[in-house]
Chains A and B, each alone.
Chain A
């Protein structure tokens, strides 16, 4: 019944251990959250699950398939909203959607309907023919979310989806996802460093820090385990520290800049 099975997963970058021997399962149809501070290893884990990165060691199964060996099968089973930008700036909002829909083989009629629905949903329909490079950060983020919802896979990964999103769209998005989860049994795997979000949305939570999973369970279980009144308190007593909130937008782009400036 598990749609995701991870055992003893390790990812090293050189000597640095980004993901340190983690194991967890996600049940079919579950809404599951990875809660942890920046740099905890959440994105790295998602990249390994979504075939973008090969693990150093350990085993991974997505809907029964191995992302390294059966990458094509695995890619058919999930959709993803990345933490970092992944739009084509030189295309319009509509073209970005269309491109995605064609790659994921959404039939034309359904595709056009959904594109219209979703662009209206994130309030970008009247800007559908503008190039993405003319968009503000928030608009781009909304487009990424809309695009991620265009095809309906078995699993949706959302890597800090609400980062930089206005509260209204945030609410909207979670409602849409909960509907999808209820109606189509879509499994939802998201990461966040907002505790309220994890507590409110997720049916089960794993707390991850420094590449390790410290505790897993429902929000209630975590609170009981830590003998705490709120998830925040539980988190504090389990990790011994506060979550560093939104210290920067994206690690990836910081790394990118560093690389651009130093390797000259």
Chain B
């Protein structure tokens, strides 16, 4: 327990101390939020789909979480490069605890990020249908954050250096984001695209946010939570497996 806590704390401290990273990881979702909602809002409205900002906010919350979660998971590459990874790897702590502590730390930061985006969107005029669901929103945020931090950890355990990082962002995280229905509805997509989207775990996270925040759902909240939980467990397992295989 103590070891999980100290690893969690370390991730937190590193994050809080890195101002540029904090600002950077907020700027992107805000840019999307503002430009897309002003840009596409009128068209969306005309097409009879309602208020685009309301539709978009859950998607952008998901976006800010996935980016910051994958990024913190992949911080292992930095640790390896700067040598600190050795220090954790020789410690008499189970690999699962190390991996889990780090993942919780990264996930906590990502949830904070998602919350900030949420509160900012309130200023832009976003209104959730009800406030009672707020704890559930937090819970789903946490699930999504854990899932993608674990995924980042898993990938980073397989990479030797920073080269692969940009590749993963461009060819994995970006597609996951765009295919998740974060910025357009999944209803009425071409068959092929719709199948791909249903394989994207982020789609379930965002659908759960929409279901809770604006009462619109594609898969159904139960399915969302089930898929997110199972996928999180799988990635936690795989992540700690690959993490335990790291050699230096």
Contact = CB atoms under 8 A, between A and B. Distances in A.
A75 B91 contact: yes
Contacts of A52: 86, 89-90, 247-248
A223 B89 CA distance: 39
Contact of B17 (A76, A87, A90): A90
Contact of A103 (B6, B18, B83, B163): B6
B89 A76 contact: no
**Centre residue among A75, A76, A82, A103 by max chain B CB count within 10 A:** A103
Contact of B10 (A53, A78, A88, A89): A88
A-B residue pairs, 9 tightest by C-beta: A75-B92, A103-B91, A76-B92, A102-B6, A86-B83, A85-B83, A86-B87, A52-B248, A90-B14
Interface residues of A, number: 35
A91 B10 contact: yes
A187 interface: no
Contacts of B82: 85, 88-89
B9 to A, nearest CB: 8
Contact of B90 (A50, A84, A85, A90): A50
A200 interface: no
A223 to B, nearest CB: 35
B163 A263 contact: yes
Given A51-B90, A76-B92, A91 B83 contact: no
A132 to B, nearest CB: 10
Nearest to A101: B6
B74 to A, nearest CB: 16
Interface string B223-248: 00000000000000000000000011
A264 interface: yes
Nearest to B3: A103
Contacts, number: 84
B3 A102 contact: yes
A105 B91 CA distance: 10
Given A90-B18, A98-B6, 16 more contacts: A52-B247, A75-B90, A75-B93, A76-B92, A80-B90, A87-B87, A88-B82, A88-B84, A90-B14, A91-B10, A99-B10, A100-B91, A102-B3, A103-B93, A131-B17, A263-B163
Interface of A: 47, 50-54, 72, 75-76, 78, 80, 82, 84-91, 95, 98-100, 102-105, 131, 252, 256, 259-260, 263-264
Given A52-B248, A91-B13, A102 B92 contact: no
B161 interface: yes
Given A53-B248, A84-B83, A256-B81, A99 B6 contact: yes
A148 to B, nearest CB: 10
B51 interface: no
B90 A259 contact: no
B129 interface: no
B215 interface: no
A119 B96 CA distance: 31
A99 B105 CA distance: 15
14 contacts: A52-B248, A72-B92, A84-B83, A86-B83, A86-B86, A88-B87, A90-B14, A102-B3, A103-B91, A103-B92, A105-B3, A259-B160, A259-B161, A260-B163
B88 A103 contact: yes
B173 to A, nearest CB: 21
A47 B248 contact: yes
A54 B247 contact: yes
Nearest to B86: A86
A75 B17 CA distance: 31
Nearest to B14: A90
Interface in B186-209: none
**Centre residue among B13, B17, B82 by max chain A CB count within 10 A:** B82
B200 to A, nearest CB: 30
Contacts of A90: 13-14, 17-18
